[in-house]
Structure 1
Amino acid sequence: MNRNGAGGQRSVHVLISGRVQGVGYRAWCADRAQALGLSGWVRNLRSGEVEAVFSGDAAAVEEMLSAAFEGPGWARVSDVKVLGEAGIVAGGFEVRATG
């Protein structure tokens, strides 16, 4: 897979579908990303999907992508689609308003 930046950094733009709204997915996602030392953001979309950018150490990004398929207990993730590479994000991980 392609990596952006130097030193094994990677940033990906993803779309997560399934039962991922109203189940605490965004908060879970932010907690997990922060625990992995990632920066980026997550938000609900009006379509019912969740959109996110995970940015940081390439191995941690891969771990987050795998974890995104699980989500919190009430979630039922049907797909985690990498839409493409994104620019490196710094400054922590945030939950954004619905887009």
Structure 2
Amino acid sequence: MKRMHIIVHGRVQGVGFRFFTQQQAEENNIKGWVRNKPDGTVEAEAEGEPQKLDTFISNIKAGSPFSKVTDVHLQEINHLKNYKQFSTVH
């Protein structure tokens, strides 16, 4: 298992990006959360099997149909939170 902190830059608010992120998490059995930040970015924490987490991150980098991802900052976190699900945080 691996845990990542993710910040997504670009046109990612008001375009269904959090919903898209949640869908990608469910498809890849990723647990954690996603939320909009006041600076216009989207922040997420994601835990899962390394290969599935890599697929999840690749899909996030590609973006949803209405978004335009310009940059993704990734930071691996050494300890797991053992999230039970993936949720949207407000």
TM-score, length of structure 1 as denominator length: 0.85
1:13–1:86 CA contact under 8 A, matched in 2? no
Stretch of structure 1 that moved more, 82-91 or 16-25 = 82-91
Larger radius of gyration: 1
- State yes or no: 1:44 paired with 2:40: no
Name the SS of the counterpart of 1:14 in structure 2.
strand
C-alpha distance in structure 2 between counterparts of 1:30 and 1:77, whole Å: 16
Q: 1:31 aligns with which of 16, 23, 29?
A: 23
Q: Aligned residues: percent identity? A: 29
Amino acid at match of 1:14: I
C-alpha distance in structure 2 between counterparts of 1:25 and 1:42, whole Å: 10
Q: 2:87 aligns with which of 84, 88, 94?
A: 94
Looking at secondary structure, tell me which structure has more helix per residue.
Answer: 2
- State yes or no: 1:11 paired with 2:3: yes
Let me know the Cα RMSD of the aligned residues. 1.1
1:71 Cα deviation (Å)? 1.8
Pair 94,71 (structure 1): closer, same or farther in 2 beyond 3 Å: same
User: How many residues of Structure 1 are paired with residues of Structure 2 in the alignment?
Assistant: 89
Unaligned runs of at least 5 residues, structure 2 = none
1:87 Cα deviation (Å)? 3.4
C-alpha distance in structure 2 between counterparts of 1:49 and 1:16, whole Å: 6
C-alpha distance in structure 2 between counterparts of 1:37 and 1:52, whole Å: 15
C-alpha distance in structure 2 between counterparts of 1:50 and 1:86, whole Å: 21
Unaligned runs of at least 5 residues, structure 1 = 1-8
